[in-house]
Amino acid sequence: MTNDVEIKPVVRDFFSRSEEEQNDFLQQTWCNQCMEMDLGMKNPQEFEAGERIWIEGDCVKCGSKVVTELVFEDDE
Ligand SMILES: [Zn+2]
């Protein structure tokens, strides 16, 4: 046992999402290199760590890594 609270990201199956959802996530991006939104991403990979879920891919325009964090509504 350690006190290490770091959570290892788990790879999820992005392609098990509906085609509609996949298209949304692939289109709704922000690229830090291009400083432009919605350029799109390719080679998407979905990760999960704790309560966070995000999708990583490559910017369609410049090939830089783009990350889209999924935000869930909090019903508290
Ligand atoms: Zn870019």
Please give the distance, rounded to the nearest whole angstrom, from the Cα atom of residue 9 to the centre of ligand 1: 24
Residue 60 DSSP label: T
Are 33 and 41 in contact by the 8 Å Cβ rule? The answer is: no
For the cut 60, the answer to whether the pLDDT of residue 1 exceeds it is no
Q: Which residues contact 75 (CB under 8 A, 6 or more apart)?
A: none
Where along the chain do its domains lie? 10-69
Give the pLDDT score at 2. Answer: 62
Question: Measured between alpha carbons, how far is residue 44 from residues 4, 5, 22, 55, 64 in Å?
Answer: 29, 27, 9, 6, 12
Please give the distance, rounded to the nearest whole angstrom, from the Cα atom of residue 62 to the centre of ligand 1: 4
Please give the distance, rounded to the nearest whole angstrom, from the Cα atom of residue 1 to the centre of ligand 1: 42
Structure confidence by residue, pLDDT tens digits, 17-67: 999 999 999 999 999 999 999 999 999 999 999 889 999 999 999 999 999
Please give the distance, rounded to the nearest whole angstrom, from the Cα atom of residue 25 to the centre of ligand 1: 15
